[in-house]
Amino acid sequence: MNFDFNDAEQDVIKTARDFAATKVKTRAREIDEKNQFPSDLAREMGRLGFFGQHMPEEYGGTGLGYKSYVLAIEQICAVSMTVGAIIAINALTQESILRFGTAEQKQRYLPALVAGESLSTFAFTEGQTGSDPRAITTTAVPEGDEYVISGEKTFASLAPSASVAAIFAKDDSGRVSAFLVDPGSDGFVIEKELETMGIRGEDVCPVRLDHVRVPRSSLLGEPGQGYNVLLTAINVGQIGIAAEAVGIATGALRMSLDYARNRTVRERPMTELPTIQSLLGEMCARTEAARWLTYRTADLKDKGRLSGKDSATAKLFASQMANEVVDMAMQIHGSYGYTKELEIERLYRDAKVTQIYEVVSEVQRLIIGGSLARESSSLH
């Protein structure tokens, strides 16, 4: 096992940390307040290579792998989860195309998505379900050389900026299939973005598909393979969310240290209080544990050995950790942390979604537990 980063990975950390410090930090509050998608920062992330660490060089990626993908997300999310999460959300469709696309689909979409010249949206969730693929009601009816897609999706992040949408729909056999759809198609309607509690500015929108006609060549993978596409994509998405959680916790720890160093209690720096040191110690230990679990999980993906249980474990643990750590950070900040004057309240709001999106924690536990129950080998 090698716990050291190579030169290229250290470069990714440095580039992402510098980008976060110089370009993102001054914008984080405004993005949250205005619920405004930072399109310029998204383009800049493309130029800096953050959409291509996990993509092969033939599509413009660096081919460095999923470890570099999580390193970039972590550094940026320590400053703004909205900005860092764009990488993980975009990766859902990228991964779907890379693993299931035809040569033509890969050439058509991946270079632009990697370069940040275009973005993608991944629309699985519907009004009645975000957790159960069997309950999807969007349909894709074959008609000649086309499919006609109708239904309503919701919480489609990045939708207004996307030049391609991965849409999950039931075909005539009743099985879920995945399609690559141009959001500019007739009948594709993107509604106004939702007012979310956290990661504001991610352009999370309801989407309506009213008899959208797509050529049969829009099918991603085989008919009925949609569930496989979904699982493959969210395995990568979940590693990204684990990295988002580690980033948020790191940001909360940084803010707490700053605050405690600069505030006095009974004429002594707050950092001298054993209770504050205890909170800082707990936050640090938990963040560090989740960080290395996340790196290891990304490394498994790089080595082609990632299971659904692994990515569920990383996301479950890291998201729980982030919520506990921001809670401790809030305690350190006291009443001022509870106001909009200080930024910790944004992190407190942002952290929650890591336990909800791309498989809720309750289901993650069942995935891990179910897998353990089925495994015949011993644990370690």
Ligand X SMILES: Cc1cc2nc3c(=O)[nH]c(=O)nc-3n(C[C@H](O)[C@H](O)[C@H](O)COP(=O)(O)OP(=O)(O)OC[C@H]3O[C@@H](n4cnc5c(N)ncnc54)[C@H](O)[C@@H]3O)c2cc1C
Q: Does 230 bind ligand X (CB under 6 A)?
A: no
- Our CB check for ligand X shows the closer of 306 and 359 to be 359
Q: Closer to ligand X at the Cβ: 115 or 356?
A: 356
Give the one residue of 115, 189, 360, 368 binding ligand X; rule: CB under 6 A: 360
Quick check: 122 binds ligand X (CB under 6 A)?
Answer: yes
Q: Which of 95, 343, 345, 358 is catalytic?
A: 358
73 touches ligand X by CB under 6 A: no
Distance CA 313, CA 179 (A): 29
Answer yes or no whether residue 123 interacts with ligand X by CB under 6 A.
Answer: yes
Based on CB atoms, which residue is closest to ligand X, 126 or 299? 126
Give the residue, chosen from 143, 222, 272, 362, that forms a contact with ligand X under the rule CB under 6 A. Answer: 362
Q: Is 284 or 360 the residue whose CB approaches ligand X more closely?
A: 360
Q: Which is nearer to ligand X, 253 or 318 (CB)?
A: 318
Indicate the residue whose CB is closest to ligand X: 130
Which CB, 10 or 131, lies closer to ligand X? 131
Instruction: Output the smallest distance, CB 264 to ligand X, in A.
Output: 38
User: x/- site string to ligand X, residues 315 to 354, per CB under 6 A?
Assistant: --------------------------------------x-
Site string for ligand X, 186-225 (x = CB under 6 A): ----------x--x--x-x---------------------
64 binds ligand X (CB under 6 A): no
- Known catalytic membership, residue 358: yes
- 114, with CB counted inside 10 A (0-12, 13-18, 19+), is buried
* Closest approach of ligand X to the CB of residue 125, in Å: 3
Site for ligand X in 84-103 (CB under 6 A): 89
Q: Is 363 in the site for ligand X (CB under 6 A)?
A: yes
Q: Using CB under 6 A, count the residues that bind ligand X.
A: 24
Cα distance between residue 231 and residue 226, in whole Å:
9
Q: Which residues bind ligand X (CB under 6 A)?
A: 89, 122-125, 129-131, 155-157, 196, 199, 202, 204, 353, 356-360, 362-363, 366
Where in the sequence numbering do the catalytic residues fall?
358
